[in-house]
Amino acid sequence: QVQLVESGGGLVQAGGSLRLSCKASGMITSVFNPNGWGWYSQAPGKQRELVASVTSPSNTNYADSVKGRFTISRDNARKMVYLQMNNLKPEDTAVYYCNTLKGSLDWGQGTQVTVSS
């Protein structure tokens, strides 16, 4: 059974940085590798939205709100997806989740990112 496990969130001041990690536990590499992966954010009272995506072999796309500040990457051998978040802003405060670009897997618990002003 595949389980998505996100980590790396926390409380930071505006302008700070965090690196989020996501492990696709229980997924074999032949299934992990062809998938495009995304990081999604869900702020209180708002719908979950895609903020960054990485396809195979590693084309990336970003929401306008995070472009130039966030960097998504993947490690196929480790079945990991990362999100480097720099110059964080209070409006980045949300729970962050990873999933395939189709949202085809059960959502993990997410990791809370809180940015204070």
For β-strands 37-42 and 49-54, DSSP reports them as: antiparallel
Residues 5/99, Cβ–Cβ less than 8 Å: no
Query: What is the rounded average pLDDT of the residues 86-92?
Result: 98
At 43-78, the pLDDT tens digits run: 999 999 999 999 976 799 999 999 999 999 999 999
Assign 1 a pLDDT band (cuts: 50, 70, 90): confident
What separation, in Å, do the N-terminal and C-terminal C-alpha atoms of the chain show? 40
At 10-30, the pLDDT tens digits run: 999 999 999 999 999 988 888
Q: What are the backbone angles phi and psi of residue 32, rounded to the nearest 5°?
A: -65, -50
Residue 65 and residue 87: Cα distance in Å, rounded?
Answer: 12
The token duo for 51 is 């903020």
